[in-house]
Amino acid sequence: MAKNPSALHEIPGVSQPKTMNSLSAAKIKQFRATKNSVDEFVENIFKGNIPFLSKAITLVESTHPKHQEKANEIIERCLPLANNSVRIGITGVPGVGKSTFIEVFGKQLTSQGKKVAVLAVDPSSSVNKGSILGDKTRMEQLVTDKNAFIRPSPAGTSLGGVAQKTRESIILCEAAGFDTIIIETVGVGQSETVVHSMVDFFLLLQLAGAGDELQGIKRGIIEMADAIVINKADKGNERNAKIAQAAFDRALHLYPLKDSKWQPKVLTTSAIENSGITQVDAMIQEYILMVKSSGFFQQKRNEQNKFWLLSTIEQQLKDSFYQNPKVQKALSEEIHQLENGKTSPFLAAKRLLGREL
């Protein structure tokens, strides 16, 4: 864990040595994770024991049905202690300064006695299958902070699957006493939407000096943001930062007021000079106070839970359908018929879905 300073894998081209390929490493991890009983896991997670928390997350991430069963039991037992946190989503294009920002922001929070967990949603990391290698210079202070826990993105083939695992990990982290959960994601695809659906506050990092035209970020993401933080507003770059701030402020005012009644704010920071971070912290606290007293905080969490219930059902229906050997056989037969022009996609689908399995 301590060797992995970023919660995201962004180091392409580094393969694991043959003797420790990702498969065998994963197997070793899984073997270790199965030794302890559910009671042991739960007791130790409640005590804030990090190695147990890590092992429980490994179970959550495992594709082995026995591990999943155990993970489900642990999660269920952890639920009563979950929910007591502020969940913050942070997104932005690679290079905008997410890791640097999370490092200083995280340190700021731990210095107030808070406990910070940093998780990541990065479906592209499935390429390196949860590689433990990373750029050692990132988040190096937070990684050694005993009140911080940093976990890279789980490996997975689908964004839905990766997101589901992250969501379950949130519960485990909260049960272990983490009161601030930061979910980091790269602002390049669909992952922002799923992260938005699991956090209380969604923060978009942007760059100073490129304020004209929203830097290729999709409008939908700007609309989701509760705040835009213009990073790299270093000394000497204040003018550009102010221009960007004004541009984004104008852009945000074009959207109708959010259900939360919160008017999204645009702040500036220099993560590298550690400036503006206190203001970001204060803003998030102001938001949380406001939505807790209006009841929106709980309402949003309830809606998110409903959304996750439905998407879990959808995911599991799909999995149990496609993983069924009878379906697999019938599906390949139907595809064959389809290729020979002997059936239509709709008839084939109807037949497959209507089968007695």
User: Closest distance between ligand GDP and the C-beta of residue 234, in Å?
Assistant: 5
Output 95 or 256, the one with its CB closest to ligand GDP.
95
Give 307's contacts (C-beta < 8 A, 6+ positions apart). Answer: 197
Least distance in Å: CB of 102 to ligand GDP? 8
Over the window 257 to 296, marking each residue x when it contacts ligand GDP by CB under 6 A and - when it does not, the resulting string is -------------xxx------------------------
Nearest to 218 by CA among 197, 241, 190: 190
Residues 88 and 120 sit within 8 Å (Cβ to Cβ): no
The answer to whether 164 contacts ligand GDP (rule: CB under 6 A) is no
Q: Select from 92, 123, 177, 264 the one that contacts ligand GDP (CB under 6 A).
A: 92
Closest-by-Cβ residue to ligand GDP is 97
Q: Does 98 bind ligand GDP (CB under 6 A)?
A: yes
Number of amino acids touching ligand GDP (CB under 6 A):
15
Residues paired with 183 in a beta bridge: 89, 119
Q: Provide the minimum distance between the beta carbon of 78 and ligand GDP in the complex, in angstroms, as a whole number.
A: 29
Stretch that binds ligand GDP, among 63-71, 157-165, 229-237, 253-261 (CB under 6 A): 229-237
Cα 104 from Cα 119, distance rounded (Å): 16
Pick the stretch among 52-60, 90-98, 189-197, 244-252 that binds ligand GDP (CB under 6 A).
90-98
Q: Is 96 in the site for ligand GDP (CB under 6 A)?
A: yes
Query: Residue 90 pairs with which residues in a beta bridge?
Result: 184, 203
Closer Cβ to ligand GDP, 180 or 185, answer by number? 185
Q: Does 183 bind ligand GDP (CB under 6 A)?
A: no
The answer to whether residue 97 forms part of the interface with ligand GDP (CB under 6 A) is: yes
In whole angstroms, what is the distance from residue 33 CA to residue 54 CA? 9
Residue 207, classed as helix, strand or coil, is: strand
Q: What is the Cα–Cα distance from 27 to 24, expressed in whole angstroms?
A: 5
Among the residue ranges 92-100, 144-152, 331-339, 347-355, the one whose residues contact ligand GDP (CB under 6 A): 92-100
Does residue 130 touch ligand GDP according to CB under 6 A?
no
Instruction: Choose, by CB under 6 A, the member of 4, 44, 91, 100 that binds ligand GDP.
Output: 100
Phi-psi region of 109 (alpha: psi -120 to 50; beta: other; left: phi over 0): alpha
Exposed / middle / buried, residue 25 (Cβ in 10 Å: 0-12, 13-18, 19+)? middle
Q: How far is the CB of 106 from ligand GDP (least distance, A)?
A: 12
Tallying the residues shown for the chain, one arrives at 357
Spatial contact of 113 and 146, defined as CB atoms under 8 Å apart: no
Q: Which is nearer to ligand GDP, 122 or 334 (CB)?
A: 122
Nearer to ligand GDP, 59 or 225 (CB): 225
Window of 19-27, 105-113, 228-236, 329-337 that interacts with ligand GDP by CB under 6 A: 228-236
Given 231, 240, 260, 343, the residue binding ligand GDP (CB under 6 A)? 231
Beta bridge partners of 182: 88, 118
Where do the DSSP E strands lie in the chain? 86-92, 116-121, 148-150, 180-186, 201-207, 227-231, 265-268
- Only one of the segments 97-105, 164-172, 260-268, 313-321 lies at the binding site for ligand GDP (rule: CB under 6 A); that segment is 97-105
What burial letters (b/e) apply to 305-339, b meaning 16+ CB within 10 Å? eeebeebeeebeeeeeeeeeeebeebbeebeeeee
Token code pair at residue 68: 């999943």
| Positions that interact with ligand GDP (CB under 6 A) | 92, 94-100, 138, 231-232, 234, 270-272
